[in-house]
Amino acid sequence: MPALTLREVLTLDPVRATEPELLAGEGALDRPVRWVHSSEVYEGANFLDGGELLLTNGFGLIDPDEEVRRRYVRELAARGAAGLAVEVGRSLPAMPAEVVDEARRLELPLLAMHRVVPFVRITEAANRAIVARGLSGRSVVRPWGDDHTAALLADLADRAALNQPEVEARAALAGFHPGPGARLVGVSVHGTRETGVVDRAVRVLGGASVLRAAFPGDVLALLALPATRSGDPVRGVQDAFRSTAEPGLTVAVGHAVAVGSGWLRWSDTLRAARTTLELALTVPAAEPGVPEGPLVTSSRALALERELTRGGVDANRDRLARLVQHALGPLLEWEAAHASDLVRTLEVHLRNGCSPTRTAALLHIGRQSLYQRLERIESLLGLEIGDPDLLGELLAAACAYRVVRGRSGGTGEVGGSRFSAAPSWLVAPARRQPQIQHSPAPLRGLA
């Protein structure tokens, strides 16, 4: 299907409502329009890529210098603009003759809009039509066919070449209408190919708008929580999935972003959810989960794991091994010769603010047993666990140890010392062992 033409744009109701008058470029009305923008600055041509219809209220054409106005038109034509539409009668009493002359000489379509219509209404209608036409035209080659929602989520997750007006128009076409002040949260679900798991969580959240689609490996969703909803949006989404998702599912929640923060931030939360899901499926959890329910985690819960494995586990394996050996070498040697749980004890203790009460409860041991383990750790490492200068290094090393152990299947080497068989806490529950063919495959190179 051919792209939307300038002639067709002129038939749209918001454009017709401006009572447009074509002053130049009659022979170029069938050129395709790639997008519709508005700008009031002379440098507006610098932001065009070609094929755009530019709307302006004419304020920038008030400059008395005739050559400046001519140069403005020449620059638009040089950038391949599809046309220029100028509002006349308010900021600009009439179209300057030199603007008309230059547009005719360059065969650049020039429109005078004689009635005031908010540009946002024009751009929304035109760009929505452009997107609809474009998606229909590309459906024969897109892997998602006519599923506009899946196509948009795929492009966002892959950080394809997009712009904010296009994203908003495509979101509206898919029925996604986040209100002002809404907070967006990406979600990735493994273990089902049905989007109903997302719909049930959305009903619990109440008033949330959602984009969701099933992909090979996961169900991907972008939730919009209204500004009127109080509390932590990430925690709210996690709680909703904990109460509605079936046992055996793994749900990863991204961070919250403002709806007005731009499409790159929309992309960030979706990508964070997918990266977190991959880690949740392949790296043993730092602390025990709830075996009878779904595993629901978030990008902030696995923030350290995500940072340590940025670029992939395999690409970081040697670096992580050096970190582990440097910080925890004596503990590894001890654990290779004794049945103990010192590295895990250290990580749980550090993750819980060095609270003996909480650490003992999570490890299901008495406080006296915990104190004995902590004393052993300090003796082997020759340091005090509570030293603020050491907390970051020790926690990062303990986390790296778990990441490398999880990916090596319980055995491997760190700094020349071969790991012994994995203790029971390193073996993920059977429901969380991913089958390779089902693991969340990144879209076109998504890292």
DSSP, residue by residue, 115-143: S---HHHHHHHHHHHHHHHHHHHHTTT-T
Phi, psi values for residue 312, rounded to 5°: 110, 145
Q: Are 323 and 402 in contact (CB under 8 A)?
A: no
For residues 252 and 276, give the distance between their C-alpha atoms in angstroms, rounded to a whole number: 6
> N- to C-terminal Cα distance for the chain?
33
What is the Cα–Cα distance from 206 to 161, expressed in whole angstroms?
33
Per-residue pLDDT of the chain (447 residues; tens, 9 = 90+): 467 899 999 999 899 999 999 999 999 999 899 888 887 665 556 667 788 899 998 877 777 688 888 998 999 999 899 999 999 988 888 999 999 999 999 999 999 999 998 888 888 788 777 776 654 444 333 444 457 788 889 889 888 767 787 888 888 888 898 989 999 999 999 998 899 999 999 999 987 899 999 987 789 999 999 999 999 999 999 999 999 999 989 999 999 999 999 899 999 999 999 989 988 888 888 776 656 789 999 999 898 988 888 877 778 889 999 999 999 999 999 988 888 889 999 999 998 899 999 999 989 999 999 999 999 999 999 999 888 899 899 999 999 998 888 655 444 443 333 333 333 323 333 333 333 333 333 333 333
pLDDT at 179: 87
What pLDDT is attached to residue 22? 96
265: alpha, beta or left? (left if phi > 0; alpha if psi -120 to 50): alpha
According to DSSP, the β-strands at 83-87 and 413-414 are: unpaired
| Distance from C-alpha of 69 to C-alpha of 215, rounded to nearest angstrom | 51
- What is the Cα–Cα distance from 240 to 150, expressed in whole angstroms? 23
Predicted pLDDT at 199: 95
**Assessment of whether the complete model's pTM goes beyond 0.75:** no
pLDDT of residue 341: 87
CA distance 344 to 330: 14
Q: What six digits make up the tokens of 252? A: 């990863």
Beta strand pairing call for 83-87 and 52-56: parallel
- Cα–Cα distance, 64 to 86 (Å, whole number): 17
User: Residue 378: which of 340, 342, 412 has the closest Cα?
Assistant: 342
Confidence at residue 269, expressed as pLDDT on a 0 to 100 scale: 96
Secondary structure of residue 188 in the 3-state scheme: strand
Partners of residue 84 on adjacent β-strands = 54, 110
Q: Specify the amino acid at residue 207.
A: G
Pick from 35, 268, 310, 318: nearest CA to 157? 268
| Model pLDDT, residue 125 | 83
* Phi/psi at 144 (5° precision): -100, 5
- The per-residue pLDDT for 420 is 37
231: left (phi over 0), alpha (psi -120 to 50) or beta: left
